[in-house]
Amino acid sequence: MLESEIDKIINRIRNVLFLDPNRIIIVNTEHQKLYLVENRKIIHSFDVSTSRFGIGNKEGSNMTPPGIHRIEEKIGKDAPSGRIFESRNDTGRNWHEGLTKENLILTRILRLRGLEEGINSGPGIDSYERYIYIHGTNQENRIGKPNSHGCVCMRNQDIIELFDSVEEGTIVFID
């Protein structure tokens, strides 16, 4: 990701939210990458998996929603790697090979709230109401390729690292 691309994203955030964040997350769906950016410099990049159905905002589309979001909730702080979450609740069970091939929500959850009315906020397109997360997955072998049902999936060790590096309120830009 080029510095000029980061500047363009930060300018959009500034124009929409009237703030200039020091630390943001940028999800690049074309390259299946998540960048943690601080003071306009990439401090870490992670491979991710966004929706296999593409980018979009409609409820029920299973697409990854574009635009400016913020981390509304951090869930799973002390859970072990591989812990299974259902409806944002810790089940007390850990995933193990052979348990299921279904794409599970594991380890940590960063729940996103869309901040752009008509793009990712509002009736029928609301990222928060669609339960869009950044989370760990049991399908780590598919990271780097579109595979999710709308969320941004990460390797379990990567989501732990990211989770520990951001706060609720951190801005997330999905492009």
User: Which sequence spans correspond to the domains of the chain?
Assistant: 3-174
User: For 3, phi and psi rounded to 5 degrees?
Assistant: -60, -35
- Is pLDDT above 80 for 98? no
Torsion sign (Cα): 123, 118, 113, 49: positive
C-alpha–C-alpha distance, residues 49 and 72, integer Å: 21
The angle formed by the CA atoms of residues 99, 103 and 104, to the nearest 5 degrees, is 70
| Res 99: pLDDT | 63
- Is pLDDT above 90 for 27? yes
Of the candidate CATH numbers 3.40.1190.10, 1.20.1070.10, 2.40.440.10, 1.10.3720.10, the domain formed by 3-174 belongs to 2.40.440.10
pTM: 0.94
- Is pLDDT above 90 for 52? yes
pLDDT in tens, 136-164: 999 999 999 999 999 999 999 999 999 99
Q: What would the two tokens of residue 96 be? A: 């193990």
96 falls in which pLDDT band (50, 70, 90)? Answer: confident
